[in-house]
């Protein structure tokens, strides 16, 4: 170690270590929430570099130090969050579920929140009025209604004025009755596309001028479970599905199979974690990170289905899904 300290490489290593340390302390000061995380990743390169130097010599220690420093820099760059300040964010679908929880979460952090709701006089909107600060504004916003989207834009634009809108979170979405394509009426396809696709596009295109003014963020949400419905809703949709099916199609698929689909839907909550904090943290990171990720999959096991679909053969994905459906069908027979 004495030889390392007296060598040019040793002095270079210590100088870069000091520079990295000062930089990371500055980062920690700007981002107190992640202070412990920042400090750990700041010390790691120096500790590994010194250990490697003792074992491999000055040259080896410097190589390890530089490699770990580069990795730490990339990692920390993605974890550093911008200050909230007076940033304004629009959230669609704030009546219930993730959107409702997100409106409360961002309001509590100091954001200026515009909470778009489908029912301005509904229980979800009333709870937001009661529990959130005066910064939060409720907007009547059916994203399939172009007039309401335009009116929401005018209200938001008037309030943010020259600062622009920092973020738009396209959260509103529906999960209709899941079934084979042949079983579903065209009205179901149109309803899903109107809300989950065209509605999000309408909101994005309308509010992009305000996002461009602030150089802000557009966050698009998708969920495997949607905004979970009630058993009464699924019973109603199942009844409509059965009544509109041609007799030969119903016979080909079998009522047991269709009942199994609903049973699988009703079991979705058993696979879901009621704790939304990983989702809320991911959205916050997408809104405030200096280098946000292109894709977030928060929640334990949430990446599994996406990974199977993207990286495994299609036959394996089909087998996996059909296995889940067959299990649900068998369980429905035992009810």
The verdict on residue 141 lying in a domain is yes
* Whole-angstrom distance, CA of residue 118 vs CA of residue 179: 26
Which ranges constitute the DSSP H helices of 223-267?
231-244, 247-253, 255-266
So what's the pLDDT on residue 170? 98
What is the domain count for the chain? 3
Domain with residue 197: its CATH number is 3.40.50.720
The verdict on residue 265 lying in a domain is yes
The verdict on residue 180 lying in a domain is yes
So what's the pLDDT on residue 316? 82
So what's the pLDDT on residue 258? 76
Q: Which of 228, 287, 230, 229 is nearest to 102 (CA)?
A: 287
Which ranges constitute the DSSP H helices of 7-162?
8-30, 35-56, 58-79, 97-109, 123-131, 146-160
Q: What is the pTM of this model?
A: 0.74
Residues 116, 172: contact at Cβ < 8 Å? yes
SS3 state at 121 = coil
Same-domain pairing of 48 and 142: no
Distances (CA, A) of 166 to 81, 213, 286: 14, 9, 12
So what's the pLDDT on residue 297? 86
DSSP 88: E
Residues 177, 184: contact at Cβ < 8 Å? yes
Same-domain pairing of 92 and 224: yes
Same-domain pairing of 158 and 95: yes
61-104 residue pLDDT tens: 555 566 655 555 555 555 788 999 999 999 999 999 899 999 99
Query: Which domain covers residue 137, as residue numbers?
Result: 83-228
The verdict on residue 199 lying in a domain is yes
So what's the pLDDT on residue 32? 45
DSSP-assigned letters across all residues of 3-46: HHHHSHHHHHHHHHHHHHHHHHHHHHHH-GGGHHHHHHHHHHHH
**Phi/psi of residue 145, nearest 5 degrees:** -110, 105
Which residues in the chain land under pLDDT 50?
1-2, 4, 31-33
Same-domain pairing of 109 and 195: yes
Same-domain pairing of 235 and 218: no
The verdict on residue 292 lying in a domain is no
So what's the pLDDT on residue 68? 57
**Phi/psi of residue 119, nearest 5 degrees:** -125, 100
The verdict on residue 112 lying in a domain is yes
Same-domain pairing of 14 and 103: no
The verdict on residue 289 lying in a domain is no
Of 174, 206, 228, the one marking the end of a domain is 228
Strands 88-91 and 112-117: parallel
């Amino acid at each position: 170690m004495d030889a390392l300290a007296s060598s040019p490489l040793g002095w270079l290593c210590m100088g870069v270590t000091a520079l990295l340390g000062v930089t990371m302390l500055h980062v920690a000061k700007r981002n107190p929430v992640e202070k412990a995380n920042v400090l750990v990743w700041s010390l790691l390169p120096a500790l590994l570099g010194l250990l490697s130097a003792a074992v491999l010599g000055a040259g080896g220690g410097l190589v390890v130090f530089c490699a770990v420093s580069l990795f730490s820099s990339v990692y920390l760059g993605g974890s550093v969050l911008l200050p909230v300040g007076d940033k304004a964010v629009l959230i669609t679908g704030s009546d219930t579920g993730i959107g409702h929880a997100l409106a409360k979460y961002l309001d509590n952090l100091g954001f200026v929140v515009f909470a778009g709701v489908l029912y301005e006089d509904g229980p979800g909107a009333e709870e937001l009025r009661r529990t959130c600060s005066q910064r939060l504004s409720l907007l009547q916003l059916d994203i399939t209604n172009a007039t309401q989207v335009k009116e929401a834009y005018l209200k938001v634009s008037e309030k943010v004025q020259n600062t622009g809108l920092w973020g738009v979170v396209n959260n509103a979405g529906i999960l209709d009755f899941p079934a084979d394509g042949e079983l579903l009426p065209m009205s179901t396809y149109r309803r899903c596309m109107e809300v989950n696709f065209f509605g999000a596009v309408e909101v994005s295109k309308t509010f992009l001028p305000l996002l461009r003014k602030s150089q802000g963020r557009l966050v698009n949400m998708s969920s495997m479970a949607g905004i979970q419905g009630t058993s009464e809703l699924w019973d109603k949709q199942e009844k409509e599905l059965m009544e509109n099916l041609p007799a030969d199609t119903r016979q080909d698929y079998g009522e047991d199979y269709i009942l199994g689909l609903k049973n699988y839907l009703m079991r979705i909550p058993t696979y879901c974690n009621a704790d939304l904090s990983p989702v809320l943290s991911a959205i916050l990171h997408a809104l405030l990170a200096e280098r946000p990720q292109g894709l977030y999959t928060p929640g334990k096991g949430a990446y599994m289905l996406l990974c199977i679909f993207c990286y495994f053969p299609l036959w394996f994905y089909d087998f996996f899904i059909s296995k889940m459906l067959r299990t649900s069908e068998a369980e429905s027979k035992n009810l």
